[in-house]
Amino acid sequence: MKHYDVLIIGCGVTGAATAYYLSKNQLSVGVVEGCNDIGCGATKANSAILHAGYDPEPGTLCARLNIEGIKLAKEICEKLSVLRRELPSLVLAFTEKDMELVHKLYEQGIENGVPGIRVLNNAETLEAEPMVNPEVLGALYAPSAIVDPWEYTCAMAETAVRNGAEVNLSCKVTAIEEKDGVYTVRTTGGDFTASYLVNAAGSYASEIAAMVGDHSFTPLHRCGQYYVLDKSEGARVNTVVFRCPDENGKGVLVSPTTHGNLIVGPDAYIVKDGKTVGTVAETLHKLKPSGKKSVPSIDFSKTIHEYAGVRPIAEDSDFIIRPSEQSAHLIHLAGIKSPGLSAAPAIALEGIKILCEQGLTLTPKENVIDERKVIRFKRLNEEEKAAVVKENPLYGQIVCRCETVTEGEIIDAIHRPIVPRSIDGIKRRTSAGIGRCQGGFCSTRVHEILARELGVSPLDITLGDDGSYILTGETKEVR
Ligand SMILES: Cc1cc2nc3c(=O)[nH]c(=O)nc-3n(C[C@H](O)[C@H](O)[C@H](O)COP(=O)(O)OP(=O)(O)OC[C@H]3O[C@@H](n4cnc5c(N)ncnc54)[C@H](O)[C@@H]3O)c2cc1C
């Protein structure tokens, strides 16, 4: 049975960030992920904002780790070539009550240490974002950023693997036993032992805790739905436009994405578990009036996709970052609601600090890898394009026409340290299939390339997680 000094359960952004930092040390680090790819929980479906940090209540872990996390995220994205764009955020006020809330958020922001934050009046708001509803009374302005959350997670996990960590996919933890200071972790993909465990299982963190008899938290699950609009709407705004938050969260936002689309969402409603991530027609359409109240000119006829994500909301509403009450070498990184994406690297460092308090010794490795290069063909200039095609003609074969993704990029993604086995895995790594036709044109080609490069039958390729097969029966080549 494979033994790890530290085994991380769950490879969302929290688990990936923890693996990234731990793997810089002389330790054996393992990750077990229940899905057939990383980042398939809350990390896959969110607003992708690196929040400025004015929203969390001062004095909470959420507040401190949000501020620390976005600084670390900036460095990580630069080093690991992750798509990230800086742009201001605005919290719009349409009533005097909203305006009071804007002032409260401003005070919180100052207390939390958010730089560059200020309150704008009507004219200043419209100057900052001419597309917002002119009825706006004012807004809170704060510097913020958007990121590709999935690529961010992948970049950290890949770098961890390059530094010696092992990511075991399709290994859903089903039981944990503890004997003489060693954990035996039973998973659907085999068993592992470990001296320390990190519980980064997102919506399922309470189930992992319960496996060691720890019933100290039972989070609620809150779902949020979004519209994704075509790139023709992507430049509709050049700021992240929020509404004033309420007890359900930060409200419906309108924001560009790092891929050049526009998203409108989320709403917020309680669901029974982390798996309830489908959109619901009866409620989804209610996002439209909210989005249009902020930015009246949004053209929802340009919608190309809809999605929903679920985050766990802890009962006391702060992140749960502490050793298990039942088993002190199991560290919970749980209840990671928003701003979990923003805070992730700081959450990881906080968790590692606790591991050390519990006896883990860190000795830094020499020659750690802390860089990553990715060719994004469409972002190159003509000269650079010619050079990469000369080097490898497969960069001259366009597979996804909507997003201009080449065969060279798809093959590179397949041969990276964490191997995708599904069409969605390629979509997340390369953006093939995220565009206007939503993979209608390229998915059969991606399917074929995946099977060829992995040396498996096309029957074995799935759309998403294990079991979501696309083809059954015999395949024949037709010319
Ligand atoms: C609608 C919405 C909008 C959001 N917007 C933002 C935002 O704009 N900015 C921001 O900062 N944050 C945002 N968040 C919050 C952010 O997405 C989360 O805080 C973050 O992604 C949590 O990451 P995680 O790794 O802790 O959990 P997850 O991403 O859920 O990862 C947990 C992983 O554990 C795995 N797992 C679960 N059970 C097991 C098991 N038994 N065995 C093995 N593996 C297991 C899962 O498969 C999953 O991959 C948003 C969240 C939602 C839902």
What are the tens digits of pLDDT across the range 154-211? 999 999 999 999 999 999 999 999 999 999 999 999 999 999 999 999 999 999 999 9
Same domain, residue pair 302 and 451: no
Same domain, residue pair 454 and 352: no
* Closest C-alpha to 181, from 40, 313, 308, 360: 360
In a domain, 367, yes or no: no
76 and 70 Cβ atoms separated by less than 8 Å: no
In a domain, 388, yes or no: yes
Same domain, residue pair 192 and 304: no
In a domain, 119, yes or no: yes
Same domain, residue pair 430 and 281: no
In a domain, 51, yes or no: no
Q: Give the pLDDT score at 406.
A: 98
Structure letter (DSSP) for residue 178: E
For the chain, what is the domain count? 3
The pLDDT of residue 362 is above 80: yes
Same domain, residue pair 180 and 122: no
Q: Give the pLDDT score at 472.
A: 85
What are the tens digits of pLDDT across the range 374-419? 999 999 999 999 999 999 999 999 999 999 999 999 999 999 999 9
Same domain, residue pair 326 and 414: no
- Cα–Cα distance measured from residue 204 to residue 197, given in angstroms and rounded to the nearest whole number: 15
The pLDDT of residue 475 is above 70: no
Same domain, residue pair 424 and 447: yes
Q: What is the CATH number of the domain that holds 165?
A: 3.50.50.60
Q: Is the CB of 335 under 6 A from ligand 1?
A: no
Pairing assessment for the beta strands 182-187 and 173-179 based on DSSP bridges: antiparallel
Same domain, residue pair 388 and 401: yes
Extract long-range pairs of 410-417: CB within 8 Å, 24+ residues apart.
410/446, 410/449, 410/450, 411/449, 411/453, 412/374, 412/375, 414/449, 414/450, 414/453, 414/454, 415/453, 416/158, 417/157, 417/158, 417/161, 417/162, 417/167
The pLDDT of residue 124 is above 70: yes
Pocket probe for ligand 1: among 32, 341, 428, the residue whose CB has the most ligand atoms within 8 Å is 341
Structure letter (DSSP) for residue 366: S
Q: Is the CB of 53 under 6 A from ligand 1?
A: no
What are the tens digits of pLDDT across the range 83-98? 999 999 999 999 999 9
Q: Give the pLDDT mean for 49-74.
A: 97
**Residue where one domain finishes, among candidates 296, 313, 330:** 313
Same domain, residue pair 249 and 230: yes
Q: Is residue 329 flagged as an active site residue?
A: no
Structure letter (DSSP) for residue 144: E
The pLDDT of residue 220 is above 90: no
The pLDDT of residue 248 is above 70: no
Cα(48) to centroid(ligand 1), Å: 12
Pocket probe for ligand 1: among 8, 32, 46, 466, the residue whose CB has the most ligand atoms within 8 Å is 46
Same domain, residue pair 120 and 241: yes
Q: Interior CA angle at 199 toward 196 and 203, to 5°?
A: 170
In a domain, 77, yes or no: no
Same domain, residue pair 169 and 180: yes
Question: pTM score, two decimals?
Answer: 0.96
Measure Cα distances from 1 to 171, 185, 191 in Å: 14, 10, 6
Cα(355) to centroid(ligand 1), Å: 21
Same domain, residue pair 195 and 227: no
Domain around 37: 2-42+150-216+316-357
Measure Cα distances from 54 to 39, 143, 188 in Å: 26, 11, 41
In a domain, 135, yes or no: yes
Name which of 30-39, 119-128, 264-273 the model is least confident about. 264-273
In a domain, 70, yes or no: no
Cα(184) to centroid(ligand 1), Å: 25
